Structure 1
Amino acid sequence: MTVTDIEILPNLRDLGGLPAADGRVTRPGVLYRSALPAPGDTRPTTVDHWPARTVIDLRSPREFAARAHPLQSDDTAVHQISLLSDAEVIAPNQGARLTDIYQGILSNAGERLVEVLQVAATSPGPVLLHCAAGKDRTGVAVALLLRTAGVAPDDIVADYLTTNEHMPAVLARITRFAPELRQTHPHERDLRGAVPDAIEGVLARWEVQQGGVHAWLRAHGATDESIRIWADRFTANA
């Protein structure tokens, strides 16, 4: 990895072009995902529009407060919506399965996932979701937005596993640009990369609920209107 490599935001991709329900496809330029942005990043070439107009930062309050967000500007609004608490982030959870961590997010942060949906549905795009690695918290939130828009589980799992291609760069970036986490990162869960069973468990939990992910969202405070707005915004006829 070169010095230049570490100045490129890793795990950044546009989630457009995925097949959705009823012959539709996700629109490019609406939803991005990435690892942690850093000051001085070079302009990425993997997306057409940069910087994103809206950023949803899924890190914990302590992570978020460590320094000003590098993308915050008059043209980019940053929303902090924590999916794990400070205690959960720094916990010595090397023995915890990623599946259990993801299920804990669904159990403890359902209302915050609804907030992610609301911001994504109503804020200027492109919308960027990120946490520290762009794998676990981002993986769950992205899965929610994709499934809500009708993307099939297999395609969601495939996108999630794409993160494994970027993990060496992701881990190097956390070490360099998140010194407040140097005592706890990389977690063993970071070193394990993206694990299909973990995201499959998330998708299965939504599927077993009568009415699927839309019913799960409504049970945690989402409105039919926000679900419809998001699906209409993010998908188009193929």
Structure 2
Amino acid sequence: MAVTDIDILPNLRDLGGLPLAEGGSTRTGVLYRSALPAPGDARPTAVEQWPARTVVDLRSARECATREHPLQSKETTVHRISLLSDAEVAAPNQGARLADIYLGILTNAGERLVDVLQVAATAPGPVLLHCAAGKDRTGIAVALLLRTAGVAPDDIVADYMVTNQHMDAVLARLTRFAPELGQAHPNDRDLRGVVVEAIDGVLARWDNHPGGVHAWLRAHGATDDTIQGWNARFTE
């Protein structure tokens, strides 16, 4: 059977090779990001090692409830860490600014973002982060891991904006592979793609926190060992 575009996991990339603000770069083969994996996906060519050995699924409980995760296997462990509640996912945005939604995640799910860091720092790699569209919840979690490791804000924003190149495929996949969301997808949050002001607000919140992003993480339950372990794993 021929492989079509909808059979290929969109917005998948290895976050290695990004420059660090103080020299060096992020290490390849450690951290991936993508949109929602689906049963029957073709083996991707965008990353070297597949499947990832650890998956962090950032969707809500209802989004995850209809089927077993397609990457769950003896070789791959899936961790479910919801960054938005079922109600928040299903509710119309009613014109809410994406920047406000992002800051709401920092306020309401800070401890769960620390859980993402803990998994990324300690679980077998590569580690794949995804949600439904792979843009908002994934964008925030990826930005946190990159900023924690010392990637400069401009490079984090550049990676975040790459997602807009994949939105046609992402929206087509959501229509086919996320029936549990009913008419909630594609919603206005997804249709507008990624918005630079939204991730800028997140990065500013971390950088303006006294002591920066590491202190923000500690305030939400992270340990120095976890922060240092992640940086040792992801940077070179």
TM-score, length basis structure 2: 0.98
Map of 1:89-238 to 2, 5 A cutoff?
89-236=89-236
The separation in 1 between residues aligned to 2:192 and 2:36, in whole angstroms, is: 18
SS at match of 1:56: strand
Aligned to 2:88, the other structure's residue is in SS state helix
**What CA distance in whole angstroms lies between the structure 1 residues aligned with 2:30 and 2:187?**
31
Are 2:90 and 2:184, in contact at CA under 8 Å, matched by a contact in 1? yes
Paired residues, what number? 235
User: How much identity, in percent, do the aligned residues show?
Assistant: 78
Q: Which range moved further: 176-185 or 135-144? A: 176-185
Distance 1:171 1:233 in 2: 33
Query: What CA deviation, in whole Å up to 9, does each residue of 1:165-219 have, x standing for no partner?
Result: 0000000000000011131011101010010000000000001111100000000
Distance 1:89 1:141 in 2: 17
Q: 1:95 to 1:3 in 2, by over 3 A?
A: farther
Q: 1-side partners of 2:171 and 2:94: how far apart? A: 16
Amino acid at match of 1:90: A
Cα RMSD after superposing both structures: 0.9
Closer, same or farther in 2 for the Cα pair 1:5/1:94, shift >3 Å?
A: farther
- Distance in 1 (CA, whole Å) between partners of 2:29 and 2:3 is 29
1:94–1:187 CA contact under 8 A, matched in 2: no
Q: Which consecutive segments of 4 or more residues in structure 1 shift more than 2 A?
A: none
Aligned partner of 1:207: which letter? D
Give per-residue Cα distances to partners, 1:56-102, cap 9 Å, x unaligned.
00000000111100000000000000000000000011411100110
CA distance in 2, matches of 1:179, 1:220: 34
Stretches of structure 1 lacking an aligned partner (at least 5 in a row): none
- Cα deviations across residues 113-170 of structure 1 (Å, max 9, x unaligned)? 0000000000000000000000000000000000000000000000000000000000
> What amino acid is aligned across from residue 44 of structure 1 in structure 2?
P
Q: Secondary structure at the match of 2:33?
A: strand
Letter of the aligned partner of 1:61 in structure 2?
A: A
**Where do 5+ consecutive residues of structure 2 fail to align?**
none
